[in-house]
Amino acid sequence: MKRILRAKKQFLLYCVIGASGATLDFGIYSLLVKSGLLDYQAANATGYASGTLLSFILNAGFNFRVTDKIPLRLTSFFSVAFLGWLVSAGLLYLFIAGLGFDKYLSKFATLIVVVLLQYNLNRLVSFRKSSSAESLSKE
């Protein structure tokens, strides 16, 4: 029971942290699209990278509380984020170019799919405790 509650707490905190990253992502995306500085795909990549970096810093420090192997974890986190970005870019293309949906609502819809995908991959890969840390926490 304790493990289930801890897992839900971790997911909820991941969502709160993700919301801050997504807010930064969406804000940068909207600013760049509205100002005409970048097209929607380039704005998506820029916003996405900014939100991902913020999310990594907050998740590593406050949620998963890992301090080891930071360069490797950052690489893993950005690899997962890149996969999420590919999904996001594909869905944006489908929604906007293919179906003619609103650029902003389309971006919001992609975030829901990507959060679920990335949480599970990051939990299992990027922030997995090392074997020595797991054995210490069980003692």
The pTM of the full predicted model, rounded to 2 decimals, is 0.68
Instruction: List pLDDT tens digits, range 86-118.
Output: 998 999 999 999 999 999 899 888 888 888 888
Cα angle for residues 43, 45, 50 (degrees, 5° grid): 95
Check residue 137 and give its pLDDT: 40
For 66-102, give the DSSP string: --SSHHHHHHHHHHHHHHHHHHHHHHHIIIIIIT---
* Per-residue confidence band for 131, with pLDDT thresholds at 50, 70 and 90: low
Instruction: Identify the H or E element spanning 99.
Output: none
Cα angle for residues 115, 53, 120 (degrees, 5° grid): 30
Instruction: List pLDDT tens digits, range 11-40.
Output: 888 889 988 998 999 999 999 999 999 998
Query: Is the per-residue pLDDT at 4 higher than 80?
Result: no
DSSP 129: P
Check residue 118 and give its pLDDT: 87
- Decide which of 115 and 4 is more confident: 115
For the chain, the domains span 15-129
